[in-house]
Amino acid sequence: MVGLNTSDDAAVYRLNEHQALIQTVDFFTPMIDDPYLFGQIAAANALSDVYAMGGQPLLALNIVCFPDCLPPDVLAEILRGGADKVVEAGGIIAGGHTVRDDEPKYGLAVTGLVPPESIISNATARPGDRLILTKPLGTGIINNAIKADLLSTETVERAVLCMSALNKEASAAMQQHNASACTDITGFGLLGHAAELAEASQVSLEICFSDVPLLPEAMEMARMGIIPGGAYNNKEHLGDKVAFDKSLRPEEQMILFDPQTSGGLLIAVAEAMTDKLVAELTERDVQSAVIGRVLPAQNKLISVI
Ligand code: CO
Ligand code: CO
Ligand code: CO
């Protein structure tokens, strides 16, 4: 039902009238030193693509690369972090595979379920919809700044909490209030994933910079130039498909390209349903913000005002 052609978050295969299978895989290298927290973050990130499609995780398989030079209890902690997140998601770790590698890497292959009529694709946003973002931006910049030891403990804790949070509640809320389209914000940054949604839905988007939530200290770090290389790749990739209002400073533009680790959901929803969905997200302890709207297709895929 969903495959490669719309750059969606996961593949979806219809099993029968009532059930469709969701299939996705994600893994990456550690962005923080604590192996337990890294395991949590990597698992939350891998599970996120199932939530972005509106589904429920069922089974997960560990994918591990691990070097000989690290003690085995580091690996045990990574796996414990991942397993705890899968349990929180209501799924089961059913096995996995490990290979020896110079650099540790961890993630999951996840199988989920969704009723076929409840699939939320990235290709079905409609002009007039509002755009809601469910986590603040800046994890790429913050992870860079962590390595340089430039941040307060509170900022680091906030960022880790954000990255390890499941998109489970956000997904349940958008199902409840008939979201028209969704994608999760990960390596391509807000604008990269928003552009995929706009392209797949054949619409344009308007994003209001001052409404986009940011992690504490992220803007300050961006101003100092602590911007990951991936953000520049994302900017390059989109080229002139994005137009920025002249008032936006370079670091403000770059933060919208910042590659996110386990970012939030970007949800398109009918204007009339927006307040109800935001209230539902708040009730479920998800801090969300309305950051823009969907327009009929225009010359630019995205305008940032
Ligand atoms: Co995704
Ligand atoms: Co993914
Ligand atoms: Co094997």
* Closest ligand to residue 23's CA: 2
Tokens of 142: 């913050």
247: CA distance to ligand 2 center in Å? 33
CB 134 within 8 A of CB 167: yes
207: CA distance to ligand 3 center in Å? 45
Q: Are residues 112 and 173 in the same domain?
A: no
284: CA distance to ligand 3 center in Å? 39
Cα 80 to Cα 223: distance, rounded to the nearest angstrom: 37
Instruction: Answer yes or no: is 159 within a domain.
Output: yes
8: CA distance to ligand 1 center in Å? 7
Instruction: Answer yes or no: is 153 within a domain.
Output: yes
Angle at 252 between CA 135 and CA 142, to 5 degrees: 50
47: CA distance to ligand 2 center in Å? 8
Instruction: Answer yes or no: is 98 within a domain.
Output: yes
> What does the pLDDT read at residue 5?
75
Q: How far is CA 78 from CA 73, 74, 200, in A?
A: 9, 6, 36
Instruction: Answer yes or no: is 141 within a domain.
Output: yes
100: CA distance to ligand 3 center in Å? 12
DSSP string, 163-219: HHS-SHHHHHHHHHTT-SEEEE--TTHHHHHHHHHHHHHTEEEEE-GGGS-B-TTHH
Q: Look at residues 75, 97, 118 and tell me which one is the last residue of a structural domain.
A: 118
Cα 77 to Cα 83: distance, rounded to the nearest angstrom: 10
Q: Are residues 172 and 252 in the same domain?
A: yes
Q: Are residues 146 and 103 in the same domain?
A: no
Which pLDDT tens digit goes with each residue over 50-70? 999 999 999 999 999 999 999
pLDDT > 70 fraction of the chain, expressed in percent and rounded: 100
Q: Are residues 242 and 102 in the same domain?
A: no
Instruction: Answer yes or no: is 17 within a domain.
Output: yes
Give residue 15's identity as a one-letter amino acid code: L
Q: Are residues 67 and 156 in the same domain?
A: no
Instruction: Answer yes or no: is 125 within a domain.
Output: no
97: CA distance to ligand 3 center in Å? 5
94: CA distance to ligand 3 center in Å? 13
Instruction: Answer yes or no: is 123 within a domain.
Output: no
CB 111 within 8 A of CB 89: no
195: CA distance to ligand 2 center in Å? 15
Q: What is the CATH number of the domain that holds 24?
A: 3.30.1330.10
CB 204 within 8 A of CB 126: no
Instruction: Name the residue range of residue 282's domain.
Output: 130-304
* Closest ligand to residue 9's CA: 1
Which residues are placed with Cβ below 5 angstroms of ligand 1, an ion? 9, 49, 184
pLDDT > 90 fraction of the chain, expressed in percent and rounded: 96
Angle at 166 between CA 22 and CA 65, to 5 degrees: 75
Q: Are residues 283 and 226 in the same domain?
A: yes
> What does the pLDDT read at residue 3?
80
> What does the pLDDT read at residue 9?
87
Give 106's strand partners: 28, 64
Q: Are residues 85 and 206 in the same domain?
A: no
The whole-model pTM stands at 0.96
Phi-psi domain of 193 (left: phi exceeds 0; alpha: psi -120 through 50; beta: other)? alpha
142: CA distance to ligand 1 center in Å? 20
Which pLDDT tens digit goes with each residue over 140-197? 999 999 988 999 999 999 999 999 999 999 999 999 999 999 999 999 999 999 999 9
Report the domain count for the chain. 2
Which pLDDT tens digit goes with each residue over 249-285? 999 999 999 999 999 999 999 999 999 999 999 999 9
> What does the pLDDT read at residue 279?
98
